[in-house]
Structure 1
Amino acid sequence: MPESSLDYTTFKKKYATRGADIPQQVYLANQDTMRIKKEKTAVDNLEKILSAVFSISSKKGFHAMTMRDLSQKSGISLGALYPYFESKDQLLAIILEQGRSMVCETLEMFSREHAHPLEKLRVTIKAHIFLSELMRPWFYFAFMEVRNLKAAEFEAVKAMEERTQKILCDILEQGEAEGVFRAGNHALTASMIKALQQEWYLKRWKYTKQQVPVDQYAEQVMEMVEKYCCC
């Protein structure tokens, strides 16, 4: 079976349209509650709002951010912000739901492209790492804000984590059934793979210092996983 041809450049090309359309996806998913009739205006402003949220949150945290902070950073007046969301809690819910959808749909999309369990595992692991590279502000935001979430929001984040781990676990179980992967605690293995994926965007400074590009990191993770999992 050929090696996975998925590298970061290939991933970006395949994901380019979806990534560029995220503000539009946010609008379409929430247009019933957003009091904005013109889609282009809404999408343009949502791009500014999301960029401002991630920038402010990386410095002082989302819960310390005020609406005035968001207004100043985005260049959108306070009065013009409220048609998009009625409160910070609603804004947070919108961001978390879009992040969940983005991650799960991307992993499932790449996973469906292959039938062989090893190739399926390769592209799924790499796609997660590459997505976190391409959309790092989303990943970093979700991880850093978990400790401040209310119970319902925290459960939603946990559900996303469990779903992405289940994608990996299902592939490992399929591989065991087909004689590709050895028997083991696949749920635990999936959790450990997830930790390696999170390492890339949470401690990026280490790999920048070592001059490790994302393709090299993804290949190293995959090499470790294959040596452990394959029969």
Structure 2
Amino acid sequence: MHRQWSSAFSTEALCARILERHRDSVRVQKPHVAVANLVRIIEATLKLSNRQGFHATSLRDLAQASGLSMGGLYSYFDNKTTLLSMILGEVSTTVNEVLTAASDEIAEDPGSHLKWLIEAHIRLTEAMQPWFVFAYMEAKSFPAAERRMAIDSEAATEEIFAAVLRRGVERGTFAVTDIELTASLIKPLLQDWYVKRAKYRRRGTGIDDYIAAVSALVEAFVRPR
């Protein structure tokens, strides 16, 4: 499933999407140049943020790490908050697009749909791991508007899961007393894969094993006793 995601969600592909959404504000006209430089900017941002935090990273740090001048950075965004919005917007939009893309055949069966959502989310975070770690680890220091964006994105993801659980309960496939709470409890299981990657690497747990374990755990909880 989704073996093509490594290319579909590469930094270059994601930066091309960012450019498309921010075409009016990016002052570099040649798309291939703009995308290449956005890749350098985003990769430097994620690397520096992982090392010292986004709040502590200055534009001068970013210029040095990306190999662009300060003026070059300002050709893409006017301040750090705009850069932050670019990154968070891409994460939020991509999650929503992926998790709402189940085929009609899969969506017809709540059990299959729930398993598909779990696998799709984990594989997406595998493909975009530095982006998701950034959004998770930096959330506490986001400005108010960006913090609200992150909160709304998480709530939207939970609602996608809740909608499937709700449909399953209506059909008798699932037996869940508190649907919203159950959806919110699934989310940390999904996050653990990208937040605590080192733990699973030490244990030799691969992504397929993790998907299978989370799916089995969730299914055992939601199925009628």
Question: How far has the Cα of 1:110 moved from its partner?
Answer: 3.1
Pair 1:21-2:18 in alignment? no
- Which structure 1 residue ranges, 4+ long, deviate > 6 Å from structure 2? none
* C-alpha distance in 2 between matches for 1:48 and 1:14: 21
| C-alpha distance 121-86 of structure 1, shift in aligned 2 (>3 A) | same
Q: Scaled by the length of structure 2, what TM-score is found?
A: 0.95
Q: CA deviation at 1:21?
A: 1.6
Q: How many Å separate the matches in 2 of 1:212 and 1:14?
A: 21
What is aligned with 1:6? none
Q: 1:14 to 1:140 in 2, by over 3 A?
A: closer
* 1:16 Cα deviation after fit: 3.2
TM-score by length of 1: 0.92
Distance 1:18 1:165 in 2: 22
The separation in 1 between residues aligned to 2:64 and 2:104, in whole angstroms, is 43
In the other structure, the counterpart of 1:11 is: 2
Sort the Cα spacing of 1:63 and 1:111 in 2 relative to 1 into closer, same or farther, 3 A: farther
1:33 to 25, 34, 39: 25
**CA displacement, residues 71-126 of structure 1 (integer Å, 9 cap, x when unaligned):** 11111111111010010111111111111001111111136561211111001011
State the secondary structure of the residue aligned to 2:3: helix
Conservation of the 8 A alpha-carbon contact between 1:112 and 1:120? no
Q: Which residue of 2 aligns with 1:42?
A: 34
AA matched with 2:47:
S
Match of 2:169 in 1: 176
Q: Counterparts in 2 of 1:106-121, with a 5 A limit?
A: 106-110=98-102, 114=106, 115-121=108-114
Report if the CA contact (8 A) 2:9-2:128 is conserved. no
**Contact residue 111 and residue 124 of structure 1 kept, 8 A:** no
Stretches of structure 2 lacking an aligned partner (at least 5 in a row): none
The one of 168, 188, 192 equivalent to 1:195 is 188
Alignment of 1:42-61 (within 5 A): 42-61=34-53
The offset of 1:195, in angstroms, is 0.8
The answer to whether residue 199 in structure 2 is matched with residue 222 in structure 1 is no
Match of 1:73 in 2: 65
Is the contact made by 1:133 and 1:201 (CA closer than 8 Å) also made in structure 2? yes
Q: CA deviation at 1:14?
A: 5.2
Name the amino acid aligned to 1:99.
Answer: V
Gaps of 5+ in 1: 1-9
**In the alignment, structure 1 residue 209 sits paired with structure 2 residue 197:** no
**Matching residue within 79, 87, 91 for 2:83:** 91
Note the alpha carbon deviations across 1:140-180, whole angstroms, 9 max, x for none: 00011111012111111110000000000000000111111
